[in-house]
Amino acid sequence: MLIEDFVNNVLDNISYCEDYLLYLRANNLISDKDELNYIIDDIQNELWSYYKKDISFSEFAKTDAFYNILGSLITVKSFIDTLKDEELSKCFKTDNDMLMTVGQLKERISENYDIALEEIYKNKEEIER
């Protein structure tokens, strides 16, 4: 099922974001945020490419859950974009705000995926009646 593939891929990408943030922090390389932005852009592009490919994904994309996932990605990206490199470095050295955000994003995607599937199956059952 394409929706499951998509969600698993997003979660893998989010895990990579998390690992990348830990790597940057451990090696004092926090000023390089381009790769992280690239990963998040990639996930957003993947959302739209799946939307165009598959009817069942189109149903998923009509759910609130889809927009919650997309909104989560945009929130994380905005957070990264608004920080200057020095501020980003300071942020990672003093607390785990961004790591928490990435972790919450991962959790939210999993939750919203389950919600979306429920909505899709419920709609299909109603149509079949």
The rounded distance, in Å, linking the Cα atoms of 27 and 56 is: 43
As a whole number of angstroms, the distance between CA 22 and CA 42 comes to 20
Task: Give 95's DSSP letter.
Answer: -
Q: What single DSSP character describes residue 83?
A: S
The region that residue 54 occupies, defined by phi over 0 for left and psi between -120 and 50 for alpha, beta otherwise, is beta
Q: Which single residue is written with the structure tokens 């959790």?
A: 107
pLDDT tens profile 62-87: 777 777 777 777 776 666 666 555 55
Residue with tokens 């996932």: 69
Is the pLDDT assigned to residue 45 strictly greater than 70? yes
Going through the chain in order, the beta strands assigned E by DSSP cover none
CA gap 65, 74 in Å, rounded? 14
Question: Is pLDDT at 52 greater than 70 in this prediction?
Answer: no
Domains for the chain: give ranges and CATH numbers: 2-128 (1.20.120)
> Is the Cβ–Cβ distance between 102 and 46 less than 8 Å?
no
In DSSP notation, 41-61 reads HHHHHHHHHHHHH-HHHHHHH
- The separation between CA 75 and the C-alpha centre of its own chain, rounded to angstroms, equals 9
- Is residue 14 scored above 70 in pLDDT? yes
pTM for this model (two decimals): 0.52
